[in-house]
Structure 1
């Protein structure tokens, strides 16, 4: 990253959602997200304590921040969930990323974080699937039909070519034609007639909901299943049934953070392995036929920062974005 040349000449780069979409590919997101996991495993990147608090307006506001001192990378994401935005015709998830010059404390780049969050979370889920799911998995059960559910399924179909049958559980019992159309020709996709039966019949289960409560019964989860859990990202949220985490091989993105705001908050004593330790080679995992694996995803600040760094460099190289004077 390039620090400000002089106080009077300082510029702030702004990247909106359309510019992010233009600059960022799924392959980019996978590479940058993998790097973030490895940096975290090697403790070369720091993750600072998460802020995640409810608001009187009905929203939830959070801050995730961190740095990679050897790379001069510092920044944060201010983000949260405002459910009333749906009534306004807007997206309930909102996020803004700021990259900061660690030498001066001055902001370098401000990025619409929604697209970044969506893509890096999808990439994180995909890396979990590569490491943990059975490579011959053919059937997937998806809870949710929103933005994150869509990107998780998109990455799953990219990285597990054997997947061909998808059953989804949305907010109602009717078909979601627009959701299905997005995956036309890539899989056999249809709503689940019964959620427990769909879980029992699946090799992979992905939960990408607001985390209002358990989505299926404990008995539905069969040996050999892999579960990617996205929706529990705040104290009090959950998507898995009580008792499941004590029966599984549990993997997390960050141990302390998962115990604070993830599914792991409901079983804080359950042994867990950080996914980055698999990706860095610090540990290994060989799936036994009967293993049930869970990847509890709470999202790492480092993932936002490695993707943002890529966007910042690519925007500077291509002249993309808006630059405004930001004198000291």
Structure 2
């Protein structure tokens, strides 16, 4: 057995250095298309609550034509806030499908953040009304809310007015400062009014329950829903999905752990089918659209492959002996 085998470790700094916006968008789009064509396999998701109060999950998959195999072990540990750390934690491993040997271990936090932001961006471009998307309401001010708003302002340059709802219902100065040069941004005084007057609504919270009243959602609104990724989680109130045209990243997964778990009999379309041209989506100006995002393993793999090949090429990362 090879005694000179190596394992590449790619830490947070190296991952963040490699995450260029357009490259990430292309990799995530590729993941959606691979999924649509069933050229990439998505294995059953593990998502379990722990005795520590955290949630632990594994998303894994493979792309045979690219010899791409791997998984992301990730979850949510709310107690990390008291330790001065980020509640979302993730680690990615890429594996040689021919031997089962690990090729690389990557810090998955930035990967998860970026690929989820990119997925939301692709959903906005496909589903939102660009001619009237000037007002946006976002729930949350954390890491995922920030990346969703960053990509949303990229996807919808017409957006001029942003209102946000924070967990404390108080002004978040650092959140405002990050986006003040790109738009007018302010705390929503009343969340239902903010939803009712917005063209786009993004929910990027831990998914602890409905965030607003169903009747606040007006005709023509697009909603990007990020926080429901576990059985029992939700951000939308009852009655919204029933009025909406629903797009998901994966139908089975969305009905198990996404917003669609609350009414799994509703019809939905996978975003990959729209991006690949399998299905045509003509949006009526009065349509309410929902993008129910639960996260695809293929997104983690295509973005991790991007980082892995780039790291090999530029000689960054840390190589350690990993003999058989």
Band the TM-score falls in, shorter-chain normalisation = over 0.9
| 2:159 aligned counterpart, secondary structure | coil
Counterparts in 2 of 1:1-328, with a 5 A limit? 7-136=2-131, 137-328=133-324
SS in 2 for 1:8: coil
The Cα offsets for residues 167-188 of structure 1, whole Å up to 9 and x where unpaired, read as 0000123211100000121000
Deviations 1:146-180 (A, max 9, x none): 00000000000011110010000001232111000
Q: Any stretches of 5+ residues in structure 1 without a counterpart?
A: 1-5
Structure 2 residue matching 1:161: 3-state secondary structure: coil
Question: Which ranges in structure 2 are unaligned for 5 or more consecutive residues?
Answer: none
SS in 2 for 1:166: strand
CA distance in 2, matches of 1:126, 1:327: 42
Alpha-carbon distance in 1 for matches of 2:231, 2:163: 29
Secondary structure of 2:238 counterpart: coil
TM (normalized to structure 2)? 0.99
Query: Deviations along 1:198-239, whole A, 9 cap, x unmatched?
Result: 000000000000000000001000000000000000000000
- Helix, strand or coil: the match of 2:122? helix
Once superposed, which parts of structure 1, at least 4 consecutive aligned residues long, lie more than 4 Å away? none
How far 1:24 moved relative to its partner?
A: 1.2
SS of corresponding position for 2:3 = helix
In structure 1, the residue corresponding to 2:8 is in which secondary structure?
strand
CA separation in 2, counterparts of 1:78 and 1:172?
30
Cα distance in 1 for partners of 2:35, 2:20 equals 23
What's the secondary structure of 1:294's corresponding residue?
A: strand
Deviation at 1:246, TM superposition (A): 1.2
Counterpart CA distance in 2 for 1:28 and 1:165 is 28
The secondary structure found in structure 2 opposite 1:7 is coil
The number of residue pairs the alignment matches comes to 323
Cα deviation 1:27-78 (Å, max 9, x = unaligned)? 1110000000000000000000000000000000000000000110000000
Q: CA RMSD in A?
A: 0.6
State the alpha-carbon separation in 1 of the partners of residues 144 and 254 from structure 2. Answer: 19
What TM-score, normalized by structure 1, do the two folds share?
Answer: 0.98
